[in-house]
Amino acid sequence: MESPEIQLAYALDTFYFLITGALVMWMAAGFAMLEAGLVRAKNTAEILTKNIALYSIACIMYMLIGYGIMYPAGGNGIIPQIDWSNMFMFTSAAKDNSLEAVLASDGETYYAGLADFFFQVVFVATAMSIVSGAVAERMKLWAFLLFAVFMTGFIYPVQGYWKWGGGWLDGIGFNDFAGSGIVHLCGASAALAGVLLLGARKGKYGKDGSINAIPGANLPLATLGTFILWLGWFGFNGGSQLVVSNISDANAVAGVFVNTNMAAAGGMVLGLITARLLFGKADLTMALNGALAGLVAITAEPLTPTPLAATLIGGVGGVIVVFAIVTIDKLRVDDPVGAISVHGVVGMWGLMAVPITNTDASFAAQAIGLGSILGWVFITSFIIWLLIKLIMGIRVSEEEEYEGVDVGECGLEAYPEFMGARGST
Amino acid sequence: MKLISAIIKPFKLDDVREALADIGVSGITVIEVKGFGRQKGHTELYRGAEYVVDFLPKIKVEIAVDDPLVDQVIEAVTGAAQTGKIGDGKIFVSDLEQVIRIRTGETGPDAL
């Protein structure tokens, strides 16, 4: 390629990272709306605060140290070796790739380094966001944010290094195109550890074994959130092709977009049908979870399946998620939004489904990756959650839980005119 | 003077209002309430968990009238609010000891 062509390709691929990264950032809005819609009105402002705060903390922690852990100068495959003399937080656009360096790299340097960071940082935020829904309505806000500091600065980057940073999972042939494991199973594992130490919401489970419904306050928001996530996922999976500036990669990106869309549709339809068969009515929240499950399921491999296969892979995810939600409830593990089911259980299905359409992958390598991500994240998260619990406590008081964490943690209400005696003026 | 409280189905509010206007009732107060009588609740499922819908949304209409109008009001409300199905509601008639118009200070039937 000549210099103008190389420059154009560089600009296009850099632009592609930035745009798809911006789409993934938009998923933060999706999570915020989804969760706000599925919790009670008295707990809405707090979960919104959690969502926007965790996104910001993730960006900062990843900038400070996380990125350096995940894409280190070296390492033995398990423990990354950070280059302290070249910390990302001190870089700048002026220091990014020069024309000479790009031309000399013979195609290997084809995008701006800063664009790579931007694309990666939004994935960390996505993983962290998964935790916020599972611990909703009864966790102390600042305990959660403290956990976010460790999750985004350390726990996520280490297992990210193992695969995307060129570590040992990459070496054994583990496949995870856009992060069913590295992002979704990771988030769900951290969520599970937190929920086990946190306990269920008051009134969720009866002493006689009954499971009580606690309906969400705003299903329009929940639905909006799901659509936003669906849109953002085109960036999540589409951007993970990492290149668009030649024919074969452009075709691949198109295929990834199509499959991502089909998997969501398949998951949504089968999730709705499963809910209808199990519960007798069309539970919207299960339909929403079904669409998300379809998206999580295809995330490990959105390129090799045919559109029909992608629909089915997503569809299986939609069926699994309904059963997982009910089962996890039966185990008295309280997950108000189904995050552990959508991202954890279906994340595992997504990882194991890869070899079905990708002949380079093996069930063995996928299982090893699944186990190590789950093990590393769950154990380290459990330790951090436990330490936070011992130092400052992670659960709000019973009184605060009844009153609503909006008032207790945020000092305001999400829907002041619909609540209590204040009324409208 | 009497205070007539009618618990009716929410979608019947417009019909009741019109019927009351037709007989010359000038003012009403409307309150959103929940309740049940002999009408039992039913169960729904939310994400697989059962919950009982015991309290059903109703509207309470309060009308303060002079004694001569009471029978007409009862007839008007009953006619407008009735569907023949369970849950139509009830009308309560109680004595009104005193009525005051805040703007002018009028009392008694003049304030109605």
Q: Can you tell me the ipTM of this complex?
A: 0.82
Query: Which residue, chain included where needed, has tokens 């691929």?
Result: A13
Token readout for A195 is: 């929920």
Residue B14 structural domain: 2-111
Identity of the residue numbered B24: G
The rounded distance, in Å, linking the Cα atoms of B77 and B43 is 31
Q: Exposed, middle or buried: residue A96 (CB in 10 Å: 0-12, 13-18, 19+)?
A: middle
Q: Nearest by CB to B46, from A215, A278, A280: name it.
A: A215
Question: pLDDT value at position A242?
Answer: 97
Domain that residue A68 falls in: 3-418
Tell me, yes or no, whether A425 lies in a domain.
no
By Cβ distance, the residue of B44, B49, B51 closest to A329 is B49
The mean pLDDT of A291-307, rounded to a whole number, is: 98
- pLDDT by residue (tens digit) across A73-120? 999 999 999 989 889 999 999 999 999 999 999 889 999 999 999 999
pLDDT at B53: 82
Q: Sorting pLDDT into bands at 50, 70 and 90, what band is A154?
A: very high
- For the cut 70, the answer to whether the pLDDT of residue A425 exceeds it is no
For B43, phi then psi, to 5°, come to -100, 145
pLDDT at A4 over 60: yes
Dihedral of CA atoms A373, A378, A380, A382 in degrees, nearest 10, equals: 180
**Domains identified in chain B, total number:** 1
Contact between A365 and A173 under an 8 Å Cβ cutoff? The reply is yes
The owner of tokens 């070899």 is A355
pLDDT value, residue A295: 98
Q: What is the CATH number of the domain that holds B80?
A: 3.30.70.120
Task: Round to whole Å and give the CA distance between B16 and B79.
Answer: 8
What whole-number percentage of chain B has pLDDT above 70? 99
Residue A155 lies in a domain: yes
Distance CA A345, CA A356 (A): 18
End-to-end CA distance of chain B: 9
Q: Could you tell me the two tokens for A421?
A: 């005696």
Chain B contact probe: residue of A204, A274, A277, A283 with most B CBs at under 10 A: A283
Q: Is the pLDDT of residue B49 over 70?
A: yes
Q: Is residue A63 part of a domain?
A: yes
Mean pLDDT, chain A, integer: 96
B46 in reach of chain A (CB within 8 A): yes
For position A80, which CATH number holds? 1.10.3430.10
Cβ pair B47:A338 closer than 8 A: yes
Minimum CA–CA partner of A278 in chain B = B48
* Residue A235 neighbours by CB distance under 10 Å: 25
Nearest to A3 by CA among A136, A11, B104, A21: A11
CA A219 to chain centre: 21
Which pTM value belongs to this model? Answer: 0.91
Give tens-digit pLDDT for A185-239: 999 999 999 999 999 999 999 999 899 999 999 999 999 999 999 999 999 999 9
- Structural domains in chain A (count): 1
Indicate the burial class of A276 (C-beta count within 10 angstroms; 0-12, 13-18, 19 or more): middle
The residues, any chain, with a CB within 8 Å of residue A157's CB and separated by 6 or more, are A62, A65, A66, A67, A69, A70, A80, A124
Q: Is A281 on the interface with B (CB under 8 A)?
A: yes
pLDDT in tens, A246-266: 999 999 999 999 999 999 999
Residue A424 domain flag: no
Tally of CB atoms within 10 A around A413? 18
Q: pLDDT tens across B87-107, in order?
A: 999 999 999 999 999 999 999
* pLDDT number for residue B26: 79
pLDDT exceeds cutoff 70 at A1: no
Which residues is A377 bridged to in the sheet?
A: none
A203 found inside a domain: yes
Is position A118 within any domain? yes
Interface contact B51, partner A, CB < 8 A: yes
